[in-house]
Each structure stands twice: as C-alpha cells, then as structure tokens.
Amino acid sequence: MKKKTNHLKKLLLVGGARPNFMKIAPIIHAIKKRISSIHKKTSFDYKIIHTGQHYDYEMSKVFFEELEIPEPDYFLNAGSGSHAQQTARIMIKFETVCLKEKPDLVIVVGDVNSTLACSLTAKKLAIKIAHIEAGLRSRDKSMPEEINRIITDAISDFLFVTEKSAIDNLIREGCDSNKIFFVGNVMIDTLLYQLNKLEQQNITSSSKYKGVDYAVVTLHRPSNVDDKKKFKQILESLTVIAKDMTILFPVHPRTMQNIKIFGFLEYINSNNIELLSPLPYNEFLLLVKNAQLVLTDSGGIQEETTVLGIPCFTIRKNTERPVTLQLGTNKLVGTNKAAIIKAYKEYKKNSITGKIPELWDGKTADRILAILLKK
C-alpha cells in the first residue's frame, strides 16, 4: 500500500493575547488527533509560541489550563507598551525562534498585535503563513486590529475565513482566490467543546447567579474606555438597564485602570453594577449562557452570543463580523447613551432571535488541518 506523504515538516502556532487562546486550542487538539492517527514517518512537528502580550494569570495562564493547551515551547515575554514597542519586541524575539526552529509554516490567529508581529517576521524569512480568521473588516482604520488584519492578510499564504463577507473583502483587496478557504469558526469549536464538557459534568445551570435576571457587560476598546466622556455615557446607559436587572461586568485590566483614574468606582457601585475580575473561559461562558442580555465591544463575544442565542448589543459603530447581525442575535447599537437606551427599549418590546451561521459547527480546526496537510 502506498504511504501517505505530507510536505509539512514543522509548524509554529502563535498565541499572544486572551482572544487568541480559544482559537489556538482546537488547532492543537486537531494536530494531536492527526499526529496520533498518521504513520509516524509522515508525522510533523509543531511548537507553541506564547508571545506574552497578555501575561496576567487571569488574562492568560488560566486559559491554557482550562482549554487544555500544553505549556508553550517558547514564552517571549513581550509584555505591554506602545504599539510600536510591543510589536517590535515580539518581532525581535520571534525572529530568533524562527531562525532556530526553521519551520515551514507559521499559524497566526485573530487580529492582535502578536498576529501582525509574527506574520511580518515569518514573511521576511520566507516562511509560509496561515491566517485563521482572515478577511474580517470593520473599515475603521482607527482600530489597531483593522491594521493588523489588513497587513496580515496581504502577506498570508493560507486565508481561513469564518464567514462569506470575508471572502468578498479579500477578493476586493486583490488576494488570490486560491489562497482563500471558507472553513468556519475555530472559536466556536472551543465553545461547543467546552459547553459539551460542562453539560457532561452537569454544571451548565449551576451558578451563583442562578434565578437572577442579569446582563453581562464587557468593555475594553480604547475608543470606548480611554475617553472619559464616552466611557461615562456608556455607564449612564447601563444604569438604565440596571433598573431592570443586575449588571455583571468582568473588567479588563485596561478598563479597570481607567475606572480608577476617572473616579467612576462610586458611581458604578451605587447603580446595581457589579464589577468582577476577568473570568476564566468556562465561567464566562456559563455567565453568558444564562444571561438575559450581553453588552460588549469585543469581537469574539458577538460570535459566541450568536451561537448561544443570547441577545447581544455591540457598543461600537461598526463590526467586522456582519454575519452576526444578518443571521445572529447581534445588534450594533453605537456608543451614544440615547442610542443604547433606545435599543434597550426596543429589545424589551421585541426579543431578539437568530440562526447559527454556516460551518460554525465545531469542526473547523479539522477542516483547516486537512487543507494544510494536502498542500
């Protein structure tokens, strides 16, 4: 019998910030499954790189533990700083790893500074890049993530997309259609896997907040939380919702810093808004699953609420994930107090329902790996 051959000898998988970890986990699980099922001679090596963009236990290590991600092979300890400092530090350290490991492929996910830094480094060393979650566009170049997306996509060799709008965006920007693969959403692989785990352990409805009506809020985007006036407007709109239900607000470190600097703590505490530390993945998943409503400026949460069927108000002027508006439970409500309150009043009259987008079925990582191994 003819042995199967694959040309992929070594790949590096990069994660750096909180939203990356749920995207690399299913890829690692799929790789492990493949390696154990392929004849040893045709196997390939892989290494996990943690850039250290997020470094607090609550923003990083707890996710590795819960999502069953092995200890990274390299921790680059990049830390915080200005965009230039952070990106440059990651590039310098990642270049050393690439020169030592000589991979034939680097896999990057999402749109954070680590995504850009590592893809740029790899390309300059003539290493192929696979970008997972390619093609999403907010058309807002004041968002650092939009710059990261455009540049990463322009130099990637494999563009794995979560929704069809991303294909149109990439084609419009001149990408070769042979490089684009509509595979679904790895973030949803993780969501369904973890949800199933929690269901088997019979803990999907156990929560300190069981039986309580509540909304979950997350805010971390500089455009919302670095500007005192804007941040206050958003908080004021939350106090209107807080008259009907408790607001549970797990707070990102950037947001917490600003809450303290702007002196908002007392206002928050006296208005039925409960601040929580950043939560581990499963705890957050359960909180969202049992919520009446979610208000967020995150990207991934728009997708997670769509799959869980929970109404979501996106506190932004745009979204790079339009399928969550067209099919899912997401509403783009803007950042202005009156607009958020108006959306809330409408939601009270007509609840929001949606459908799950195509290929968001928990099998995306397997599809990605099958494509990479065929090339």
Which residue in the list 50, 54, 131, 220 is annotated as catalytic? 220
**Residue length, the chain?**
375
The DSSP annotation for 278-330 comes to: PPPHHHHHHHHHT-SEEEE--SHHHHHHHHHT--EEE-SS--S-THHHHTSSE
Min separation Cβ 340 and ligand UD1, Å = 20
Q: Please name which of 308, 299, 240 lies closest in space to residue 273, comparing C-alpha atoms.
A: 240
**What phi and psi values does residue 105 have, to the nearest 5 degrees?**
-150, 140
CB nearer ligand UD1, residue 248 or residue 369: 248
Which residue bears the tokens 């939009």?
Answer: 146
Tally of CA atoms within 13 A in the half-sphere of 14 that contains its CB: 36
Between 38 and 147, name the residue whose CB sits nearer to ligand UD1.
147
Nearer to ligand UD1 among residue 299 and residue 311 (C-beta): 299
Q: What is the DSSP letter of 245?
A: S
Beta strands in the chain (DSSP E): 10-15, 45-50, 74-75, 105-109, 128-132, 158-161, 180-182, 214-218, 246-250, 273-276, 293-296, 312-314, 330-332
Q: Give the phi and the psi of residue 135 in degrees, each rounded to 5.
A: 80, -5
Residue among 25 and 112 whose Cβ is closer to ligand UD1: 112
Nearer to ligand UD1, 138 or 367 (CB): 138
Q: How many Å apart are CA 158 and CA 193, to the nearest integer?
A: 25
Q: Which residues contact 330 (CB under 8 A, 6 or more apart)?
A: 302, 305, 306, 312, 314, 319, 321, 324, 354
Shortest Cβ 65–ligand UD1 spacing (Å): 15
Give least dist CB 144 to ligand UD1, A: 4
39 is catalytic: no
Please say which residue, 218 or 364, places its beta carbon nearer to ligand UD1: 218
How far apart CA 280 and CA 57 sit, in angstroms, is 10
The rounded distance, in Å, linking the Cα atoms of 156 and 154 is 6
Site residues (CB under 6 A) for ligand UD1?
Answer: 17-19, 53-56, 59, 80, 111-113, 144-145, 220, 252-254
Q: Which residue has the tokens 């399928």?
A: 323
Helix (H, G, I), strand (E, B) or coil at 46: strand
CB 143, min distance to ligand UD1, A: 8
Smallest distance from ligand UD1 to CB 10, Å: 26
Kindly state the smallest distance separating residue 85's Cβ from ligand UD1, in Å: 10
CB of 80 or CB of 351, closer to ligand UD1: 80
Catalytically annotated residues:
220
